[in-house]
Structure 1
Amino acid sequence: MTDQAIPGIDPQAVPSGDGCADCLAGDGPGWWFHLRRCAACGHIGCCDSSPGQHGTRHAKTNGHPFLTSFEPGEDWFYNVETEEFADGPALARPTAHPADQPTPGPAGAVPADWQRHLH
């Protein structure tokens, strides 16, 4: 990780919640495979393998180039404009969804045949 300011990354932006904000708001099937965090504003969206693909959609729609994982134990940044991984600064906590939150999630919303719905 780097301590240098990077355009498109706000280390002070806090996560919008514990799950995909869009899925939880009723956009799509309401469940996700993995979670992504917008490094510019903290919006939590679902990954590109998820049915809703809200993380990348948020980043591109809002001109926020960097996503990072919101999964426990993962520490990377991805630039959706250049399609390259990058180093980035430490972000405001929490850096992942709660460890007891299931993947895929949220509990009770994931269909039994969830693998068939992945991209």
Structure 2
Amino acid sequence: MTLDAQGTNATGRAGLNGQTPRCDHIDRFSTVKPGPPECKECLALGQTWVRLLVCLTCGWVACSDDSRGGHARAHYRETDHPVVATLEPNSTWRWCYVHRRTV
């Protein structure tokens, strides 16, 4: 067992390579039903989006950071819902806003 600076078990928090703390946010979710495949904020502003993301906490769908609006990140800032997934078919990509990395 490896201990961190506070004397707690760091091995249990480690990622696969042992370097990055494991993101426990992904363990908190049940299956959510995504909303309609559109960014309502972009539609209201007459904007288009590059990619859509779904909040894994509540199912809210919004545009990604590479879109003009970045409304998925705005949703995170308003709600503290930490993890999103892409709506692209067959993708397992997930992003944790808290850890600022894929999970």
* TM-score greater than 0.5 by the shorter chain: yes
Question: Whose relative contact order is higher, 1 or 2, with alpha carbons under 8 Å and at least 6 apart?
Answer: 1
Which consecutive residues of structure 2, in runs of 5 or more, have no partner in the other structure?
1-25
Task: Determine the C-alpha separation between the residues in 2 that align with 1:51 and 1:82.
Answer: 23
Query: Which residue number corresponds to residue 51 of structure 1?
Result: 68
Give the structure-1-normalised TM-score.
0.59
**Secondary structure, counterpart of 1:23 in structure 2:** helix
Percent sequence identity is 26
Query: Which residue number corresponds to residue 14 of structure 1?
Result: 33
Runs of 4+ in 1 over 3 A off after TM superposition: none
Task: Determine the C-alpha separation between the residues in 1 that align with 2:40 and 2:33.
Answer: 13
Q: CA RMSD in A?
A: 1.6
More helix by share: 2
Deviations 1:45-101 (A, max 9, x none): 001010110011112210100011111232211100111221xxxxxxxxxxxxxxx
Which consecutive residues of structure 1, in runs of 5 or more, have no partner in the other structure?
87-119
Give the structure-2-normalised TM-score.
0.67
Query: Which residue number corresponds to residue 31 of structure 1?
Result: 48
